Amino acid sequence: MPDTVDARWEAGPRNTIAIIQNRHDRIFYENQFLPFAERHAASDAVFHLLRDDGEGHRHVPRPELERVITAVAAAPPLREALRDLGFRTGVPADDS
Q: What is the pLDDT of residues 54-63, one digit of tens each?
A: 898 888 999 9
For residue 15, the model assigns a pLDDT of: 87
For residue 1, the model assigns a pLDDT of: 47
Please provide the size of the chain in residues. 96
Q: What is the C-alpha R_g of the chain?
A: 14
Paired with 46 in beta bridges are 17
Q: Is the pTM of this model over 0.75?
A: yes
CB contact at 8 A, 45 and 16: yes
For residue 10, the model assigns a pLDDT of: 63
> CB within 8 A of 12, min separation 6: which ones?
40, 42, 43, 45, 46
The residue ranges of the chain whose pLDDT is under 50 are 1
For residue 69, the model assigns a pLDDT of: 93
Q: How are beta strands 17-22 and 46-51 bridged, if at all?
A: parallel
